[in-house]
């Protein structure tokens, strides 16, 4: 889903909470001040999107988020002519809007996008900071407050796709990983209000499940899934059921794997 935080609304929105792991908020701020684009690397559900939303709100900048997929083209980012009653009208895409507004454009899972997107991203990501709009002949200079942020998950499914060195060497890169246990307990509790003891059990479960990654599971249990389970538990669902539907069933379709993961759940709860 793509989201747009309009500039007029920025000041009225609460700042989404974000528990930092280290000095990533300072790095983001320094990158923004120095007009450097940022690449966030890390597994799904570990806080990249929340981090960007938090920083955009802190800096008072409009945020345009694009969830990239394998059909996403440069025109989807830049814009296109639309046919209307009076003929054709130009409609800015989210990247162009972010440049015009001087906001943050966040391209989530950028390696999923079609290769033609690099043609528009490269001149914007290096020191030229321009967006060429071929179809209108415009060359849009990015204002100082504009920032390009992209993310990608260097996990198994991207081994072949990867990110070209010519693209990644245009970005300052920050690595994200699942939070350390104390921090993850704090996050799950802060997001759901579930009592600390049960949050700690969920985080312990996540640790046990993450140890199985690579051997039996394609993706590790994310903080997002722990938050889903905690939300259901906080609403009264038994821990075992919450872990099954929010965590285990999301990690595997294999009956034998599901049964094994449920044994891990029962060992923790
Ligand atoms: P990603 O973009 O890496 O896939 P998200 O940013 O969507 O992951 O994180 C998933 C959820 O986990 C968020 O909605 C938020 O509830 C929670 N979360 C993860 N990390 C943090 C953090 N450091 N502080 C607060 N919430 C977090």
Nearest C-alpha to atom 6 of ligand 1 is from which residue? 47
Q: What are phi and psi of 68, to 5 degrees?
A: -80, 145
Q: Give the single-character DSSP code of 45.
A: T
How would you label 89-120 residue by residue, b for 16+ Cβ within 10 Å and e otherwise?
eeebbbbbbbbebebbbbbbbbbbbbeebbeb
224 close to ligand 1 (CB < 6 Angstrom) = yes
Averaged pLDDT, 86-109: 94
CB 101 within 8 A of CB 7: yes
| Average pLDDT across the chain, whole number | 91
**Across 154-168, 186-200, 237-251, least confident range:** 154-168
Does 74 have pLDDT greater than 60?
A: yes
Pick from 57, 223, 246 the residue to mutate for probing ligand 1's pocket: most ligand atoms within 8 Å of its CB. 223
Q: Is the pLDDT of residue 4 over 80?
A: no
The pLDDT, as a whole number, for residue 17 is 93
Give 26-65 pLDDT, tens digit per residue. 999 999 999 999 999 999 899 999 999 999 999 999 999 9
Residue nearest to atom 9 of ligand 1 (CA): 47
- pLDDT at residue 219, rounded to an integer: 81
Extract the tokens encoding 10. Answer: 């920025």
> Cα–Cα distance between 9 and 21 in angstroms, integer?
28
The pLDDT value given to residue 112: 86
**CA nearest 114: which of 58, 66, 51?**
66
Minimum CA distance residue for ligand 1 atom 4: 45
For ligand 1, mutation pick of 224, 225, 226 (most atoms within 8 Å of CB): 224
Q: Is the CB of 223 within 6 Å of ligand 1?
A: yes
Is any ligand 1 atom within 6 A of the Cβ of residue 231? no
Question: What are the E-state strand segments in the chain?
Answer: 3-5, 38-41, 63-67, 79-84, 87-92, 104-108, 130-133, 138-141, 147-152, 172-175
For residue range 153-190, what is the model confidence (pLDDT) as tens digits?
887 565 556 788 888 899 999 999 999 999 999 999 99
Q: Is 191 in the pocket of ligand 1 (CB under 6 A)?
A: yes
Convert 162-178 to b/e letters by CB count within 10 Å (16 or more is b): ebeeebbebbeebebeb
- pLDDT score for 11: 52
Query: Ligand 1 pocket, 41 CB below 6 A?
Result: no
Share of the chain above pLDDT 90, in %: 75
Give me ligand 1 centre to Cα 225, in Å.
Answer: 10
Max CA distance (Å), the chain: 67
Token representation of residue 210:
């993450």
CA nearest ligand 1 atom 18, residue:
47
Q: Please, which pLDDT band fits residue 76 given cuts at 50, 70 and 90?
A: very high
Average pLDDT of 59-77? Answer: 94
- Output the pLDDT for position 208: 93
* Mode of pairing for the β-strands spanning 104-108 and 147-152: parallel
Please determine, for the modelled complex, whether the ipTM score is greater than 0.90.
yes
Residue 1 pLDDT: 44
pLDDT mean over 212-225: 82
Question: Whose alpha carbon is nearest atom 21 of ligand 1?
Answer: 47
Give CA–CA dist 120/225, Å, rounded: 34
- Answer whether 49 contacts ligand 1 (Cβ < 6 A): yes
- Top mutation candidate among 45, 52, 151, 158 for ligand 1, by most atoms within 8 Å of CB: 45
More confident residue, 7 or 231: 231
């Amino acid at each position: 889903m793509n989201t747009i935080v309009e500039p007029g609304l920025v000041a009225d929105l609460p700042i989404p909470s974000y528990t930092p792991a280290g000095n990533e908020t300072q790095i983001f701020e320094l990158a923004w001040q120095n007009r450097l684009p940022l690449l966030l690397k890390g597994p799904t559900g570990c806080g990249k999107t929340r981090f960007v939303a938090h920083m955009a709100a802190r800096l008072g900048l409009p945020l345009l988020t694009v969830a990239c997929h394998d059909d996403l083209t440069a025109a989807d980012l830049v814009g296109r002519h639309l046919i209307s009653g009076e003929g054709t009208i130009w409609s800015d895409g989210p990247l162009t809007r972010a440049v015009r507004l001087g906001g943050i454009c966040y391209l989530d899972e950028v390696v999923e996008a079609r290769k033609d997107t690099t043609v528009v991203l490269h001149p914007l990501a290096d020191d030229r900071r321009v967006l060429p709009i071929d179809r209108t002949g415009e060359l849009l200079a990015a204002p100082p407050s504009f920032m390009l942020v992209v993310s990608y998950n260097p996990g198994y499914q991207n081994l072949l796709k990867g990110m070209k060195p010519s693209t990644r060497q245009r970005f300052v890169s920050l690595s994200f990983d699942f939070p350390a246990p104390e921090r993850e307990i704090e996050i799950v509790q802060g997001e759901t209000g579930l009592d600390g003891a049960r949050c700690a059990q969920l985080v312990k479960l996540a640790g046990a499940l993450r140890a199985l990654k690579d051997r039996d599971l394609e993706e590790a249990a994310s903080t997002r899934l722990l938050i889903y389970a905690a939300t259901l538990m906080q609403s009264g669902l038994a821990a075992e059921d919450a872990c099954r539907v929010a965590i285990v069933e999301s990690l595997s379709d294999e009956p034998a794997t599901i049964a094994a993961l449920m044994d891990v759940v029962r060992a923790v709860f």
